Amino acid sequence: MHKQFLVTAAWLAAITVALGAFGAHGLKAILTPASLSTFETGVRNQFYHVFALAITGILWKEYPGKLLLMAGRFFILGILFFSGSLYLLTFLAVQGISDFRWVGAITPLGGLFFILGWFLLGLSILRSGKQ
């Protein structure tokens, strides 16, 4: 098992639960429905990819290699860029700052990292030569 991926997944999962609770209880009263939806999208995608990272860490035992390592790193980058940019947009909305809409342009880059992570996860298993 890839211990660092598993530890990172556990910590990110704890953060995800905390952010979800904060969104449901702390932000609901101060955000517009659109901004709250943006925040929830970040939390939801972070949680999905925490599981992807944990699976990657578990699969390391059977399929170690450069591609699987890259997959895990792309899942982490995807969380940072995709979810992180949505959290930043929400924070800016709470502050009443609208001059930083370009932050939303970072989100698709995070989505691309997620896609690459999933692709490399599958490719690493395919190329392993194991049945």
Q: Would you list the domain boundaries of the chain?
A: 3-126
Question: pLDDT tens digits for 38-91?
Answer: 999 999 999 999 999 999 999 999 999 999 999 999 999 999 999 999 999 999
Tell which residue, 55, 79, 85, 82, has the closest CA to residue 68.
55
Q: Is 1 exposed, middle or buried (0-12, 13-18, 19+ CB in 10 A)?
A: middle
* Token reading at 124: 């690493």
pLDDT(1) > 70: no
Percent of residues in the chain assigned helix, strand, coil, to nearest 5 = 80, 0, 20
Within 8 A by CB and 6+ apart from 65, the residues are 124, 127, 128
The reported pTM is: 0.92
Question: pLDDT tens digits for 5-34?
Answer: 999 999 999 999 999 999 989 888 888 898
Residue pair 5/60 in contact by the 8 Å Cβ criterion:
yes
pLDDT(101) > 80: no
